[in-house]
Structure 1
Amino acid sequence: MNEILEVVVDSQKGRVDKVLTAEFTQFSRSQIQNWVKNGHVFANGDAVPANYKVKSGDVIRIERPEIVELELIAQDIPLDIVYEDNDVMVINKPQGMVVHPSKSHPDGTLVNALLFHSKDLSGINDVIRPGIVHRIDKDTSGLLMVAKNDETHRALQEQLMDKTVIRKYVALVHGEIQHETGTIDAPIGRSHSNRLVNTVRPEGKKAITHFTVLERYQGYTLVECQLETGRTHQIRVHMKYIDYPIAGDPVYGPSGTLKGNGQFLHAATLGFVHPKTGEELLFEAPLPAIFQDTLNGLLKK
C-alpha cells in the first residue's frame, strides 16, 4: 500500500516540490519531483502539475508509492539495432515490449535486453533505466536512442529539451481528416479521476503536436505526427482531443475496431546530432507487418 504523507500549508510559498523538500527533509527534491510527475502529489484533492505554486491553507498530500526492489538481469532477447557506435545506439523497439522494468513488468524489457547486449550504458537516469534517454509506450513500436555513457546521455537530453531532436510518428486514426496539416497546442496533465490516464487540462504541461495527412481511407486517416514536446501519451491524448483517436488504442480510443496488438502508432523517424562527432544522424524504421497489413486491407478514398 502507498504511504500517505500530508501537510497543511501555513505561510510557505513557492513551487510545490520546493516546499515539500523543505517540509520532508528525508526525501530528495528529485524524488519529490518524480512523485509530482507521476501523479502522486495532490493539493486539496487534485493532482498537481510540476509548476504548481502552493497557497496558504492548501492541504498537500503525498501518496508515496510502495518501494519495490527490482533486480536487473541481463536477458538474451533479440534487439533490432538500427545503429551503434561507442557512444549511442538506436533501437527499433517492437510493439509489446516494455522499455524498462517495473513492478508489473520485472523482466523481458528493453533494458533487460540492453544489459545482455552491452556492458556500457549510461547510469544518470536511475538504476532501472540504464541507457534510456526517452521512452515510448509498450504497444507503440519504433525508434529509440540509447546512451552508452553519461556524457552522451546528458547531451542527448539537452537536445530533447532544446527541441532539436526530430521525432516523427505514423498513426492510423479514426475518422477522415479533411485538411492536409494541423497543429494541436493543448496542455496535458493527469486525469482527476484516473492518474494512470492523461488528458487535456488548462493547468497541464505545454504540449504541441504537428500532423500531416499521409493517406485517407474509408473511415480512417493515416497521419504523420511530429512532436515538439514529449508528454506522456501525447499523440494519443491529442488525437483523441480533436476527435480522431488512434485506432486500436485500448485507453484513448473506441473499443472493438481494427484487430491488432494495441494502438496503431509507430515511431518512424528519429534524428539528432551525434554528441561526440557533431554529425547529423537521421534514421527511418518501416511500419511493422501488422500495421502495413492492416493498411493494405483498408479501402482508400
Structure 2
Amino acid sequence: MVAACVAHCSRSFAAVLIRQGRITVDGQTRKPGYVVKSGEQISGTIPPADTPAFLPEAIPLEILYEDDELLVVNKSPGIVVHPAPGHSGGTLANALMHHCPDLQGISGGLRPGIVHRLDKDTSGAMVVAKTSRAMHHLAAQFKSRQVHKLYLALVYGNPLNEHGSIDLPIGRHPVARKRMSVHSRVPRPALTLWQVREHFAGLSLLELDIRTGRTHQIRVHCKAIGHPVVGDPLYSRRGLKRQLTQVAPLIAQVVEPVQRQMLHARQLQIRHPLDDRRLIVEAPLPFDMDEVLRKLRMNSR
C-alpha cells in the first residue's frame, strides 16, 4: 500500500520503514504484509532513499534515428533501462549519458531523457528526449495515448482466430508482488490488439498493438488468453516446453535454449516535437530472436 501510494518509494524500502516503526496504522506498528482495513489511517515520514551512483559508461548503442531534439535506440535484450537498487551501472541511461552528456538536465535524476521504458529482457525501439521541449512534448503524447507501438512476440499455441483484442484490466498481482495480473484488486484499463503473423507447430508469431502502457501488459495479456510468451520467466509455465516436445519435438528443440521472453518492440510512431510530423521508426530483431525464427521456419518447411 505504501509503495503504491508514494512516488519513488520501493516495496523493500517501505518494508524497512514499517519494521522500524516509522510508518504506523492508527498509531500502531504493523507487519509489512498487514492488510489495511477501511477507515484505518496510515501515517509516518518517508526519508529520501539513497541514490545509487550514476556515471556515463561507454556502452554501445544501436541508434535508429537521431536529431537535435530526440533519438530512438534499439534496446538490446538483457540491459536495464535506468539505474535502480541492484543495477547502479551498465544501464541504458548510463550509455545515453556517455553518448549525449547534455541529457543530465533532461528530466534529471536517474532517467535522463527517458520518456518510457522496456523490460530488461524485452528488446526494441525506445525514444529518448534530448531537450526539455522534446521531453514535455513526448510525455504528453504518451499520456494522451497518441504514441503507436507495435511489438512482435513468439507465443505458445495457435490461436483459433487470426486476429483479436484483449480488453482486460491489469494491476499488481494480489500475492506475487513482482508480477502483474488481470485479477488484481486495483486494476487499471488495458487494451491490446493482436494478429497472427506466422504459424508454427505449437507456436505462433504475433504482432501486438498496445493501446495502453501497463507494466508487463503484453506478457500478462498473452498469458490471460492462454498463449504466454516463449521464454517468459514470470508468466510462462514450465510444463509448456514439455508439452511442445510431445507435439512438435523439432520445434521444441529450437526454443529449448531460450533464456528470455521472445518479445520485441519492432515499431514506434510518434509526432516530432519540432514540427509535429509523424516519425515512424523500425527496429530490427536482435540476433537471438531472429535466429530462433529462422530455425523455426526451416523446421516448418
| 1: CA distance, partners of 2:293 / 2:103 | 37
Calculate the TM-score normalised by the size of structure 1.
Answer: 0.80
- Residue 45 and residue 63 in structure 1: after superposition, are their counterparts in 2 closer, same or farther (change >3 A)? farther
Cα deviation, 1:34-56, whole Å, max 9, x if unaligned, reads xxxxxxxx99627xxxxxxxx85
Q: Tell me the equivalent position of 1:254.
A: 237
Q: Tell me the equivalent position of 1:269.
A: 267
Query: Match for 2:192: what amino acid?
Result: T
Higher strand share: 1
User: Residues 1-301 of structure 1 correspond to what in structure 2 (within 5 A)?
Assistant: 2-4=16-18, 5-8=23-26, 45=35, 57-58=39-40, 60=42, 67-121=49-103, 123=105, 125-201=107-183, 203-255=186-238, 257=241, 258=255, 259-298=257-296, 299-300=299-300
Calculate the TM-score normalised by the size of structure 2.
Answer: 0.80
| 2: CA distance, partners of 1:78 / 1:102 | 20
Higher alpha-carbon deviation: 195-204 or 81-90: 195-204
Query: Match for 2:201: what amino acid?
Result: Q
Cα deviation, 1:75-104, whole Å, max 9, x if unaligned, reads 011000111111101000001111001111
Question: How many Å apart are 1:217 and its aligned residue?
Answer: 0.5
- Residue 65 and residue 110 in structure 1: after superposition, are their counterparts in 2 closer, same or farther (change >3 A)? farther
Q: Secondary structure at the match of 2:194?
A: strand
Query: Match for 1:45: what amino acid?
Result: V
Question: How many Å apart are 1:261 and its aligned residue?
Answer: 3.4
CA RMSD of aligned residues (A): 2.5
8 A Cα contact 1:209 1:228, kept in partner: yes
- Residue 183 and residue 127 in structure 1: after superposition, are their counterparts in 2 closer, same or farther (change >3 A)? same
Higher alpha-carbon deviation: 61-70 or 219-228: 61-70
Instruction: Please list every run of at least 4 consecutive aligned residues from structure 1 whose deviation after the TM superposition is greater than 3 angstroms.
Output: 58-66, 122-126
Question: How many Å apart are 1:118 and its aligned residue?
Answer: 0.3
- Residue 192 and residue 124 in structure 1: after superposition, are their counterparts in 2 closer, same or farther (change >3 A)? farther
| 2: CA distance, partners of 1:67 / 1:132 | 21
- Residue 155 and residue 245 in structure 1: after superposition, are their counterparts in 2 closer, same or farther (change >3 A)? same
Higher helix share: 2
8 A Cα contact 2:173 2:179, kept in partner: yes
| 2: CA distance, partners of 1:65 / 1:211 | 44
| 2: CA distance, partners of 1:148 / 1:89 | 7
8 A Cα contact 1:8 1:57, kept in partner: no
- Residue 238 and residue 279 in structure 1: after superposition, are their counterparts in 2 closer, same or farther (change >3 A)? same
Higher alpha-carbon deviation: 194-203 or 131-140: 194-203
Q: Secondary structure at the match of 1:236?
A: helix
Tell me the number of residue pairs that the alignment of Structure 1 and Structure 2 aligns.
261
Cα deviation, 1:227-251, whole Å, max 9, x if unaligned, reads 1000111000110111100000011
- Residue 93 and residue 63 in structure 1: after superposition, are their counterparts in 2 closer, same or farther (change >3 A)? farther
> Percent sequence identity over matched residues?
41
Q: Secondary structure at the match of 1:120?
A: helix
Higher alpha-carbon deviation: 288-297 or 244-253: 288-297
Query: Match for 2:188: what amino acid?
Result: K
Question: How many Å apart are 1:145 and its aligned residue?
Answer: 0.3
| 2: CA distance, partners of 1:44 / 1:173 | 37
8 A Cα contact 2:158 2:202, kept in partner: yes
The unaligned stretches of length 5 or more in structure 1 are 10-41, 47-54
Higher alpha-carbon deviation: 71-80 or 251-260: 251-260
- Residue 289 and residue 170 in structure 1: after superposition, are their counterparts in 2 closer, same or farther (change >3 A)? same
Q: Tell me the equivalent position of 1:37.
A: none
Q: Tell me the equivalent position of 2:250.
A: none
- Residue 102 and residue 176 in structure 1: after superposition, are their counterparts in 2 closer, same or farther (change >3 A)? same
Question: How many Å apart are 1:6 and its aligned residue?
Answer: 2.7
